[in-house]
Amino acid sequence: MANLILASSSPRRKELLQQLGLEFTIFSPDIDESVLENETIEDYVSRLAACKAQAVLMHEPHAIVLAADTSLVFNGQIIGKPESKQHAFEIWSLLSNNEHEVLTGISVAMAGKSETQVVRTRVKLQKLSLADMEYYWATGEPLGKAGAYAIQGIAAQYVTRIEGSYTNVVGLPLHETVQLLKVVKALN
């Protein structure tokens, strides 16, 4: 395989891609991540993944570039990273005893070719008590995490159901990523 570049600075994406035994380098592009007017969340994550891949491809035109963008969605709204303890508690109050979705746009691009796909996973959290929230906040794990939780960490104890790709919720759906890499390589 040509030089593979992961267009992300996410340590979770790096760890997931390493699980596949692939050799790759990292180049994290700086792009505008604003949501466009009337843009669906599916279109948003797809567009950002494709833009990240193309931005890196401009610098490394002979590489195969893998990019992803993940959003946690509740009631049609993107739930970002907590800005404070109070904000984390507000997020958990929404997600408590409810289902939400995690959408990841993944894009694989090389000179003249690209493929982009969106993967959806449904997650349900248990009813969170104030004690649960206080405990989890004190761990420090919610900081910097969309939805204020990390399914691969301590928060796993609060997840009652998952429908779809577990690795998607972590940040990179591995099965679909491998399939896209195969398609793009086959198109070469």
Which letter, b or e, does each residue of 153-168 get, where b requires 16 or more Cβ atoms within 10 Å of its Cβ?
eebeebeeebeebebb
The dihedral formed by the CA atoms of 43, 36, 172 and 148, expressed in degrees to the nearest 10: -130
- Any catalytic annotation for residue 132? no
Give CA separation, 20 vs 65, 89, 143, 147, in Å: 16, 35, 27, 26
Q: Token digits for 14?
A: 């790096």
Chain position carrying tokens 């604003």: 34
Catalytic residue among 30, 32, 43, 69: 69
| Cα(139)–Cα(28) distance, integer angstroms | 28
Spatial contact of 29 and 52, defined as CB atoms under 8 Å apart: yes
- Radius of gyration in angstroms for the set of CA atoms belonging to the chain, rounded to a whole number: 17
Spatial contact of 113 and 184, defined as CB atoms under 8 Å apart: yes
Which residues are known to be catalytic? 69
